Amino acid sequence: MDADAVAAVTGGRSIGVAIVDDHPVVVEGVRAWLATEPQLTVLATGDDPDEVLRAAPHADVVLLDLRLHGLMVLDKLAELSAAGRRVVVYSEHTDPATMLAALDAGAVAFLAKHEGREHCVATVLAAASDRPYVPPALAGAIVGDPRPDRPTLSDKEREALLLWFQSMSKASVARRMRISEHTVKQYVDRARIKYTRAGRPAATKAALLARAIEDGLVRPEEIGTYRSQAWYDRPTP
Q: What is the pLDDT of residues 149-194, one digit of tens each?
A: 677 888 888 888 888 887 657 888 888 888 888 888 888 888 888 8
pLDDT of 27 reads: 95
pLDDT of 51 reads: 97
Residue 47 CB partners (closer than 8 Å, separation 6+): 20, 21, 22, 68, 69
Q: How far is CA 87 from the centre of its chain?
A: 8
pLDDT of 183 reads: 85
Nearest 10 degrees: Cα torsion 222, 225, 226, 230: -80
